[in-house]
C-alpha cells in the first residue's frame, strides 16, 4: 500500500487555472484550495532530528514527525507521530507523550526551536470519472517566505492511485507536453536548494582537516580558531537559556583549547603559555557552578530513585534550592557573556589565533605536526600505563582522578590529530578509551557530587534559611544521597581497575607502538612529570 509520488517542477507562469483547464478535457475536476498557513519546522541547535533522518513540523495546531524521505506535505496523513499544540512556542517543551518519548531518545537534553518558517498553500485536484470515482490526484504546493511577496517553491505532485495507472500516465504526459519537468528532489530538497531551510553542520567534534605537512603553529591556529568559533556559537543559546547543552558545548570547546595549548606548550614561550592557560582556565571556571547545577537538575529523577519515599521531602527542598541558585547563577553568566570585559577578552583571543606566527615562538612551533602528534600520543599513553600499574584497592581517589585527566588528554590528542592517522585505528583506540573514560567520569562525578552536597549542607546550616522541620528533612535526604553515592562509587571503582588493565594490555600497547612510536619517543621520568601538568 506504499504511496508512489511523482514530483514536477513548474514553469514560472504555470498556474492552478492552467492546470484545471488541462485536466478538464478528460476529467471532472474537484479542486480544494487549502488556504495559506504558517508552516514551522523544529529541530535542535545541532539538527539532531535531521541528522537522524527525521523532520518535525508545526502546522494547523499540530506538531508532527516524519522521516525526511517520506515528508511530502505538512498535511501528511502518514506522519510517524503527532501531537496537538495550541500555539508554536519559541522553545518547545514537549508534554509527556509517545511523541516526546520518541523525540527525547534522540535529542536528550537538547530543546527544539524553530529552524524555518514558510507560508504554505496547497491546492488539491481530484480527477474524477463519470461515476465520480477519483482516478488520480494532483497537488500543487506553493511555499513562500513570510516576509516576501513572491513564492520561492512551486511544485506539483501526481499521486497515482492503485489500479488506475493509465490515468497517472495520462497526467504525466500532459505535464511533460506543457514544459513541466519531473524531479527526483523532495519538497525539503527544493526548500534547501532555495535557502528556505538551512540545516547546520554544527558539531562539537568537528573535523579539523589537518595534513601531515602542517607545522605545529599552523595546527594550533586552525584548531583553536575553529574551537573558538564553536564556543562563540553557543553564547546566544546560553544567554537565552534554550537548553543546558549550549553551556556544555561552550565549556567543551574552551577546555579543548586549553588542553591543546598545554599539550603543545613548547610551541609558545613560557610567558605566553602561562598567559593563555590562565585566560582559558578563567573562561571555563566562570561557568563551573552553573554547569554543576544544570547536571543536578537534569538528573533530579535519578537522585529521587536513590532514596525511599520517606526521604523525598528533603530532596524536594534541596532541588528547589538548586533551582533558585541556578536562576541566580544563570543571570550572572548572562551578564558575564554580555560584559565588555568578556567581549574584549574573547575578541582578543580570536585575533591572536588568527595568525599564529606572531603567537608561537617556542621551539616546537615550526616542527611538522605529524611528528609532534605521534610523540604526544605515544607519551600520553605511556603516562596512563605507568600510573595504572600502581593501582591497588588502597590507592587514593586523587590518583584515580589523575588517571582520568591523563585519559582525557589522550582522548583530545586522538581527536585533534585524527586526520593524520588511519580512521579505523583511531576509531578503535577512541572506542577502547571511551569505555574506560565512561567509568572514570562516573567515578569522578560521584566523588565531586558527595563533596558538593557536603559543602552545600554546611553552607545551608550556617545560613539557616529553612524552618527547623525542612532543615531536618534536608539533613536526612542529603545524608541519604551521600551514602548512596558513596556505595555507587565503590562499585564503579572495581570496574575501573578491570577496564584499566584492558587498556594497558598488550593489544592496545602494540597498536600504540606500531602507529605512534618515534625513534626518540621513549618515555622518561621528566616526560611523565611534564605531561602531567
Partner 1 sequence: MKILASYSIKGGVGKTATSVNLAHLAATQGYRTLLFDLDPQGASSFYFRVRPSEKCKSKFFFSKEKKLQKNIKASDFPYLDILPAKLSFRNFDIMLNYMKKSTTRLHKTLLTLKKEYDLILIDCPPSISLLSENVFNAADKILIPLIPTTLSERTLQQLTTFFTTHGYRNKKLIPFFSMVQTQKKLHKDAMTRLRKQYPRLLETSIPFSADIEKMGIHREPVTAFAKDTAGAQAFKTLWEEVESELACSKQKKRA
Provide the binding-site residues for partner 1, judged by CB under 8 A.
1, 67, 70, 77-78, 80, 126, 131-134, 161-164
Euclidean distance between CA atoms 399 and 391, whole angstroms: 8
E runs forming strands in 449-514: none
Euclidean distance between CA atoms 412 and 224, whole angstroms: 13
Nearer to partner 1, 53 or 422 (CB): 53
In the complex, minimum distance from the CB of residue 8 to partner 1, in angstroms, rounded to a whole number: 21
Nearer to partner 1, 52 or 182 (CB): 52
Nearer to partner 1, 168 or 359 (CB): 168
Q: Residues 6 or more apart from 513 whose CB is under 8 A from it?
A: 378
In the complex, minimum distance from the CB of residue 80 to partner 1, in angstroms, rounded to a whole number: 6
In the complex, minimum distance from the CB of residue 98 to partner 1, in angstroms, rounded to a whole number: 11
The 10 Å Cβ neighbour count of residue 131 is: 6
Nearer to partner 1, 76 or 425 (CB): 76
Q: Residues 6 or more apart from 3 whose CB is under 8 A from it?
A: 72, 78, 159
In the complex, minimum distance from the CB of residue 133 to partner 1, in angstroms, rounded to a whole number: 4
Nearer to partner 1, 1 or 464 (CB): 1
In the complex, minimum distance from the CB of residue 165 to partner 1, in angstroms, rounded to a whole number: 10
In the complex, minimum distance from the CB of residue 30 to partner 1, in angstroms, rounded to a whole number: 10
CA of 431: how far to CAs of 184, 400, 423, 428, 438, in Å? 39, 20, 12, 5, 11
Nearer to partner 1, 80 or 289 (CB): 80
Nearer to partner 1, 35 or 163 (CB): 163
Cβ(128)–Cβ(121) under 8 Å? no
In the complex, minimum distance from the CB of residue 7 to partner 1, in angstroms, rounded to a whole number: 19
In the complex, minimum distance from the CB of residue 77 to partner 1, in angstroms, rounded to a whole number: 5
The 10 Å Cβ neighbour count of residue 66 is: 21
Euclidean distance between CA atoms 279 and 524, whole angstroms: 30
Nearer to partner 1, 70 or 456 (CB): 70
HEC profile for 273-315? Answer: HHHHHHHHHHHHHCCHHHHHHHHHHHCHHHHHHHCCHHHHHHH
Euclidean distance between CA atoms 508 and 248, whole angstroms: 30
Euclidean distance between CA atoms 74 and 64, whole angstroms: 8
Cβ(109)–Cβ(123) under 8 Å? no
Nearest to 281 by CA among 349, 331, 217: 349
Amino acid at each position: 500500500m506504499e504511496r508512489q509520488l511523482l514530483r514536477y517542477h513548474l514553469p514560472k507562469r504555470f498556474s492552478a487555472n492552467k492546470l484545471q483547464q488541462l485536466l478538464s478535457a478528460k476529467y471532472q475536476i474537484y479542486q480544494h484550495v487549502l488556504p495559506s498557513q504558517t508552516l514551522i519546522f523544529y529541530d535542535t541547535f545541532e539538527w539532531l532530528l535531521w541528522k537522524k533522518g527525521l523532520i518535525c513540523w508545526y502546522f494547523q495546531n499540530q506538531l508532527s514527525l516524519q522521516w525526511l524521505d517520506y515528508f511530502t506535505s505538512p498535511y501528511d496523513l502518514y506522519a510517524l507521530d503527532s501531537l496537538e499544540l495550541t500555539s508554536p512556542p519559541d522553545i518547545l517543551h514537549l508534554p509527556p507523550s509517545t511523541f516526546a518519548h520518541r523525540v527525547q531518545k534522540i535529542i536528550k537534553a537538547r530543546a527544539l526551536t524553530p529552524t524555518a518558517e514558510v507560508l504554505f498553500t496547497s491546492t488539491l485536484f481530484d480527477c474524477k470519472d463519470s461515476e465520480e470515482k477519483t482516478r488520480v490526484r494532483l497537488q500543487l504546493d506553493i511555499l513562500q517566505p513570510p516576509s516576501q511577496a513572491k513564492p520561492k517553491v512551486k511544485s506539483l505532485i501526481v499521486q497515482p492511485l492503485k489500479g488506475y495507472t493509465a490515468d497517472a500516465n495520462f497526467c504525466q504526459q500532459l505535464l511533460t507536453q506543457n514544459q513541466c519537468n519531473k524531479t527526483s528532489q523532495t519538497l525539503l530538497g527544493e526548500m534547501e536548494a532555495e535557502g528556505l531551510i538551512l540545516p547546520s553542520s554544527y558539531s562539537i567534534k568537528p573535523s579539523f582537516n589537518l595534513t601531515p605537512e602542517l607545522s605545529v603553529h599552523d595546527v594550533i591556529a586552525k584548531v583553536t580558531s575553529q574551537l573558538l568559533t564553536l564556543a562563540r556559537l553557543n553564547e546566544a543559546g546560553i544567554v537565552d537559556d534554550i537548553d543546558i547543552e549550549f553551556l556544555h558545548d561552550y565549556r567543551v570547546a574552551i577546555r579543548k583549547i586549553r588542553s591543546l595549548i598545554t599539550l603543545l606548550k613548547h610551541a609558545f614561550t613560557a610567558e605566553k603559555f602561562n598567559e593563555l592557560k590562565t585566560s582559558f582556565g578563567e573562561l571555563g571556571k566562570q561557568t563551573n557552578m552553573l554547569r554543576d547545577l544544570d547536571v543536578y537538575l537534569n538528573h533530579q529523577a535519578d537522585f529521587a530513585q536513590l532514596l525511599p519515599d520517606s526521604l523525598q521531602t528533603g530532596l524536594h527542598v534541596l532541588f528547589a534550592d538548586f533551582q533558585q541558585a541556578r536562576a541566580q547563577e544563570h543571570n550572572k553568566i548572562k551578564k558575564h557573556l554580555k560584559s565588555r570585559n568578556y567581549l574584549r577578552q574573547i575578541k582578543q583571543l580570536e585575533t591572536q589565533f588568527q595568525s599564529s606566527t606572531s603567537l608561537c615562538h617556542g621551539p616546537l612551533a615550526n616542527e611538522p605536526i605529524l611528528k609532534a602528534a605521534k610523540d604526544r600520543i605515544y607519551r600520553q599513553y605511556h603516562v596512563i600505563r605507568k600510573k595504572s600499574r600502581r593501582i591497588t584497592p588502597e590507592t587514593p581517589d586523587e590518583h584515580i582522578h589523575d588517571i582520568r585527566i591523563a585519559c582525557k588528554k589522550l582522548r583530545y590528542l586522538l581527536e585533534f590529530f585524527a586526520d593524520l592517522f588511519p580512521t579505523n585505528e583511531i576509531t578503535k583506540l577512541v572506542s577502547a578509551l571511551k569505555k574506560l573514560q565512561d567509568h572514570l567520569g562516573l567515578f569522578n562525578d560521584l566523588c565531586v557530587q558527595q563533596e558538593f552536597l557536603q559543602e552545600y549542607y554546611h553552607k545551608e546550616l550556617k545560613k539557616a534559611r529553612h524552618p527547623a522541620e525542612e532543615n531536618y528533612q534536608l539533613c536526612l535526604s542529603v545524608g541519604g544521597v551521600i551514602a548512596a553515592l558513596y556505595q555507587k562509587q565503590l562499585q564503579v571503582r572495581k570496574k575501573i581497575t578491570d577496564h584499566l588493565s584492558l587498556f594497558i594490555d598488550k593489544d592496545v600497547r602494540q597498536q600504540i607502538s606500531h602507529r605512534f612510536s618515534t625513534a626518540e619517543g621513549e618515555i622518561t621520568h621528566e616526560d611523565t612529570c611534564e605531561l602531567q601538568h
